[in-house]
Amino acid sequence: MKAIKNLVQAWSVPEIRKKLLFTAAILAIFRLVAHIPASGVDRAALANLFSQSPFLSLLDIFSGGTLANFSVLALGLGPYINASIIMQLMTMAVPKLEELSKEGESGRTIINHYTRLLTLPLAGMQASGMYFLLRSQGIVEFLSPVDMGALVVTMAAGTIFAMWLGEIITEHGIGNGISLLIFAGIVGRLPVVAGQLFSTVAQEELFTYLSFLGVALVVIGGVVMINEATRRIPVQYARRAARGGVVSQSTHLPLRLNQAGVIPIIFAISLVLAPSMIGQFLSGVPNPDIVRFAQTFSTLFTPNGALYNTVYFLLVVGFTFFYTAVVFNPTKISDEIKKHGGFIPGIRPGGQTASYLNYILTRITLAGGIFLGAIAVLPSIVQGFTGITTLALGGTGLLIVVSVVLETTKKIEAQLVMRNYDKFL
């Protein structure tokens, strides 16, 4: 109710209403361009391929729903997201990039420029790989080198165009533009998927329908709770008073339960789908023994199978620990607290503080990793119990939708607070 009240109040403010209308207009342009098809594609075969490949479905999510249509924006924002993840990891590993990240807005501007430059070659490689994959499935006709080059350039240009739309939303609209474009792509497909879902459930028992809705509501509530959950560690700083003496100032260090977001799911699904993709590749080899091995290999890692979901769950938990360890360094945080004269009550500064932070971080990361793993495999579990195969959102899509809604709501609330503060002054 508070979010709806803030939205109504924001609409009554001319400056915020202008930003909301601008954001809506850019999203409409994005969805319009996303329906401009590329030539030489068998639509029916393409839809069948995407329905059988969870990996391609994941890429379609991060393209904003444009890859399944093979539009001029077929790659969407996938290369930019990959470039952002690479740059974020490199910032933690390369000292010069780490120094840039600490230089404030100017440093972030330079890192964003490097991210854009890295996006272009990644888009070219992904476009080439997508062309060869679709051609091997008979979905795209054979192209000459010149025509193939034109197709790759067109798809890479589409990625740059989508990236530009996201950036102008961030600059002139409300919320993070890249996230909103992905959100629009996911939500834009919900009416069609919902129609398929209801037509399927209408033939089932009422209990199946109610159980599906109940699970959906519980999962959404759980995602909101985990996404907003933080462990606040109290920190005290000693400050010298104006008339002498020392004054203690208390604050807290917030540690989010889910610091990695959807990135562990992205990494995990890329690896867990590799065996089936390798099996499909080996199935075309003339040697019958290799073909038999490939079939067995693919069968073991069939999506929705027990081994597939077990490995998927463990990989998500493992990557959650890995990514959290990369982005949060307890030793560095401990040194920063000590450098500014702070300490955690009851814990000695330095090594003991780092050990304490690492202990807390390990416990909350385990809980967050188990939750992410459960969200990742939950669609398969629900499909097994209900028999409903047309689930509207997978774990990754659900996390993205909820995160974007929460983030945009906070942005609108911050705009209202800022306006009221300026008005008060």
Return the residue matching tokens 């001029």.
Answer: 72
- pLDDT, residue 205, reads 54
The DSSP code sequence of 27-42 is HHHHHHHTT-BPSSB-
175 and 225: one domain?
A: no
64 and 89: one domain?
A: yes
CB 372 within 8 A of CB 260: yes
Percent over 70 (pLDDT), the chain: 71
**Helices 78-93 and 54-62 meet at what angle, rounded to 10?**
80
CB 161 within 8 A of CB 33: yes
CA dist 159 and 149 (Å) reads 15
- pLDDT, residue 88, reads 79
CA nearest 398: which of 206, 226, 210? 226
Report the phi/psi class of residue 64: left, alpha or beta, with left for phi > 0 and alpha for psi in -120 to 50: left
Return the residue matching tokens 């998500």.
Answer: 316
In a domain, 399, yes or no: no
Q: How many CA atoms lie within 13 A of 258 on its CB side?
A: 24
Average pLDDT over residues 45-54: 66
CB 361 within 8 A of CB 370: no
Domain that holds residue 279: 205-387
- pLDDT, residue 394, reads 61
Give, as one character, the DSSP assignment of residue 94.
Answer: -
114 and 262: one domain?
A: no
Give, as one character, the DSSP assignment of residue 71.
Answer: B
**Residue 25: which pLDDT band, with cuts at 50, 70 and 90?**
very high
Element holding 293 (H helix, E strand): helix 288-300
The 10s digit of each residue's pLDDT in 375-397 is 888 777 777 665 655 554 566 67
Report the number of distinct structural domains present in the chain. Answer: 2
The 10s digit of each residue's pLDDT in 321-343 is 888 887 788 888 888 888 877 88
What CATH number did the domain enclosing 383 receive?
Answer: 1.10.3370.10
In a domain, 392, yes or no: no
In a domain, 398, yes or no: no
Element holding 248 (H helix, E strand): strand 246-256
In a domain, 413, yes or no: no
182 and 226: one domain?
A: no
Q: Choose the final residue of a domain: 153, 170, 203.
A: 203
Q: Choose the final residue of a domain: 165, 183, 203.
A: 203
